[in-house]
Amino acid sequence: MTSDVPANIKGHNELVAKRSAVDSTGALRVEPIDGLKVRLTRPVPHEDGHVIEIARQGWEILDQPVVQVHMTTTLPGRHRAWGLHRFSTDRLFVARGLVKIAVYDGRTDSPTFGYVNEYTLSDRNPGLVVVPPNLYHGWKNIGTDEAIVINMPTSTYKYDEPDAWDLPWDSPAAQELIPYRF
């Protein structure tokens, strides 16, 4: 898109036109990575506060039973990336804070190889992100308070042989392999 900013504005050639994250119907403008699923939920107000559904039997997005639930906290400005599971699916829900979740498809045989999907979720904009095996994924707390992310993986954690592979977000390898910066 070419800039419509007049040339007499200092920095006009550095400006980038903003693109809305949603279309006119409110649907997210993202071409989803093959196998990645997102279900936005909403806080429902009542006289004592709000209720937000995190997971519910019958939701198409939850095609396997919940076998474990754990909570991770992330301090403001901190990253939890990049992780990958060979066999387990992560089901991530931001319960508190403001978190940017990113997923990268490094599967060379995938129709969406090289795609990056990014979601900004919070307790005010909740959603469930289902990350299938073999996708790099992680998040950054972009808020000012400690964030809480709930995970409901499809496999229980194996203490002696975890299905967890890490690539530090700030490593040279991550900078080279993953075309995304938080």
Tell me the pLDDT tens digit for each residue of 53-62.
999 888 988 9
Between 71 and 2, the more confident residue is 71
* pLDDT for residue 178: 98
Q: Which pTM does this prediction carry? A: 0.86
Find where tokens 């080279």 sit: 176
What does each C-alpha distance from 117 to 10, 31, 142, 144 come to in angstroms?
33, 8, 17, 23
Find the mean pLDDT for residues 127-133: 97
* pLDDT for residue 7: 87
Domains of the chain: 32-177 (2.60.120.10)
Find the mean pLDDT for residues 175-182: 96
- Those residues whose C-beta lies under 8 Å from the C-beta of residue 17, and which sit 6 or more positions away, are 1, 3
- 26: tokens are 């409110």
Tell me the pLDDT tens digit for each residue of 155-167.
999 999 999 999 9
* pLDDT for residue 3: 58
Find where tokens 């909403």 sit: 42
Instruction: State the amino acid at position 29 in one-letter form.
Output: R
Find out whether 148 and 76 touch, Cβ atoms under 8 Å: no
